[in-house]
Amino acid sequence: MQFLDQAIEFQPLSGQATPTFTAQVTDDELQAFCQAVRHAQRRLVALWGSDQRDRHATHGYALHTAFDLVEGLVCLTLPLATENPTFPDLSQFFPAAKRMQRTVRDLLGATSEDSDQRPWLRHANWPEDHYPLRRDTPDAHFENQNEIYDFVRVEGDGVHEVAVGPIHAGIIEPGHFRFSVIGEGVLRLEERLGWKHKGIERRFVGMTLVEGAQLAGRVSGDSTVAYAWAYSQAAEAISQTTPPARALWLRALLLERERIANHLGDLGYLGNDVALAFGLMQFMRLKEDWVRLNATLFGHRLLMDRIIPGGVSVDLEPDGIQAINQQCHRVEQEVRSLKSIYDEHAGLQDRFLTTGCIPPPLAAQLGVIGLAGRASEQRWDQRCNHPCQPYVQLAPKMAIEANGDVAARALVRFAEIVESLNLIRTILRDLPSGALRAEVRSAADQRGFGWIEGWRGDILVALETGSDGKLRRGHCHDPSWQNWPALEHAVIDNIVPDFPLINKSFNLSYSGADL
C-alpha cells in the first residue's frame, strides 16, 4: 500500500463498496500518519468520537479518523483514556479538523490539544459537563441560555463589525456571520453555526440497520439520496448483503436526478443574487418540472426513502423511461440556451468573475472538496476516484475549473448538469432487469462504511453494531464540514453586498454539519 505505514497493522474490511482498511493507533502513529497523508496530497475525510467504556476495560473512549488514499478509505482508531480523554490536534495537518475536534469535545467530552477550546455545537443549550454521546448520559431538558461567544476581534482605525444572522429572511437555515470591515471591504469573516442541532447521532443508537436508513436520509434534505445510499452501503457491508444489479443502477439514476435538481436551483438563485430575475424564474421552472416528475414516477419530489438497505423501494416502468428521456432532452436544450444568456450577460459576468475567489493552492491547503473544490482545480469526485457500481461502467467525466471564483462554481454546475443528463440516458439504456432488493439481516459487533459523491461532495456514513445487532454508533459526515472554513477565506477583500452571492455559490449545508 503506497501511503500506509507498514508499522501499523491494517485490517481490510470485507463487503465494503469501497476498499476499506482499519487500524488501531497510538498518538504518535496517528500524527505520523497524518503527516504522511498530507505530504502525499491526500485528505482527511472525517473525524468523530465514540464511547467504548462498555467494551474496553483499558480505555473508555475512541477517536476515529477517516482518510482518502489511493488504495481506498482508511479509518484509524485512537483509544482515549476514561478520565480526562485527550487527543492530538490534527488541525495542524488538516485545517478542517478544527471544528470537528470542537464537536467531539461538545458531544463526548474528549478534548483535543488545540488551543481553540470554544464550544461549537453546544450554544449554552446544555451544561458544559453534559455530553450527549456518552452512553450513560440521560435524556434531559435544559432551559436555553444566552451564549456569550468569544469572536475573534479585528482592531484598528475604521474597523467595525457587521453581524448577520443567525435568523435570516425566508426559509434559509440559521447561521451567524460576523464580518470585520472597513467601509464595505471585508477584512475577516467568522462563522458561528450549530443552531440546527437535532441529536441525530444519539438517535441512531438502538435502531435496526433497516430503521436507520430513514434517519440518515433526513440529515440534509437536499441530499437525501446520497445519504441514504451511503448509509445503505454501510448497512450492507455489516450484513454482507449484495444489492441486485437493477437496484444499483436505479440508485445511480436517483442520485443524478438529485444532483441536477440542486444545480438547477442554484443556478437560478445565483442569477437572482445579481438581479437577473429572469434566470431565477427559468431555472426554477425547470427544477419544478424536474421534481414533479420525481413525484410522478417515484412517489416523492425529493426522493426520500427510495433507497433502502438491500436495494430500492421503487421500480421504473417503460413509460417512465420514455418520460425521463424526453425530459432530459428538453432540459439539456434549455440549459444550453440559458448558459449562453448567462455567458453573454455583462452585468452577471461582472459580478461573477473574480468574486469570492479560492485559488487552487489555497483550496488544496484548506482541503476544499466537492463542487467547490473542482471549481478550484481540486480533483475529488468519488464517482471517478473510488467508483462503486455502476459508476465503474458509467465512467463519468469530472468537471474541473481553475479560477475558483463564483463564475467557476457556476461553470462546474453547468458542466455537471450536462454530464449527469448523459449518465441518466446511459443508465436508462443499459438498465438491467431483475430484483429490486436483497434481504438485510442484523449482525452483531460489526463496522461498516458507506461513501458516496453527493451533489455538494462526498458523504461518509460510518456504522457500528452492538452485541444485539442494533446500532451502537452512527456517524454521518457532510462535505460542508470541509468547505465552510473556505467560505471565510473566499469573502476576504470582497465587499459585504457580495457575500450572499459568494455564499450561494458554495451553497453549503447547515444541518448536514450539525448532527
**Superfamily of chain region 242-438:** Cytochrome-c3 Hydrogenase, chain B (1.10.645.10)
The per-residue DSSP string of 408-477 comes to HHHHHHHHHHHHHHHHHHHHHHHPPPS-SB------SS-EEEEEEE-SSSEEEEEEEE-TTSSEEEEEEE
- Whether 242-438 and 11-112 are alike in CATH topology: the answer is no
CATH T-level fold of 11-112 = Beta Polymerase; domain 2 (3.30.460)
Q: Where are the domains of the chain?
A: 11-112, 154-195+478-515, 242-438
- Per the CB < 8 A criterion, the answer to whether 273 and 348 are in contact is no
The per-residue DSSP string of 3-30 comes to SS-TTS--EEETT-SS-EEEEE--HHHH
Amino acid (one-letter) located at 106: D
Beta-carbon contacts of 166 under 8 Å, excluding residues fewer than 6 positions away, are 174, 175, 176, 192, 195
Q: What CA–CA distances, in Å, run from 107 to 100, 111, 241, 378, 450?
A: 11, 10, 32, 32, 23
Cα distance from N-terminal residue to C-terminal residue, the chain: 34
**Secondary-structure breakdown of the chain: helix, strand, coil percentages, each rounded to the nearest 5:** 40, 15, 40
Amino acid (one-letter) located at 224: T
Q: What CA–CA distances, in Å, run from 216 to 24, 113, 229, 332, 358?
A: 27, 31, 9, 31, 31
Buried b or exposed e, range 225-241, using 16+ CB within 10 angstroms: bbbbbbbbbbbbbbbeb
Q: Sort strands 20-24 and 72-80 into parallel, antiparallel or unpaired.
A: parallel
pLDDT per residue as tens, the chain (515 positions): 555 555 788 999 999 999 999 999 999 999 999 999 999 999 999 999 999 998 876 778 999 999 999 999 999 999 999 999 999 999 999 999 999 999 999 999 999 998 899 999 988 888 889 999 999 999 888 887 888 899 999 989 999 999 988 888 777 788 999 999 999 899 999 999 988 888 999 999 999 999 999 999 999 999 999 999 999 999 999 999 999 999 999 999 999 999 999 999 999 999 999 999 999 999 999 999 999 999 999 999 999 999 999 999 999 999 999 999 999 999 999 999 999 999 999 999 999 999 999 999 999 999 999 999 999 999 999 999 999 999 999 999 999 999 999 999 999 999 999 999 999 999 999 999 999 999 999 999 999 999 999 999 999 999 999 999 999 999 999 999 999 999 999 999 999 999 999 999 999 999 888 88
Q: From CA 129, how far away is CA 137, in angstroms rounded?
A: 10
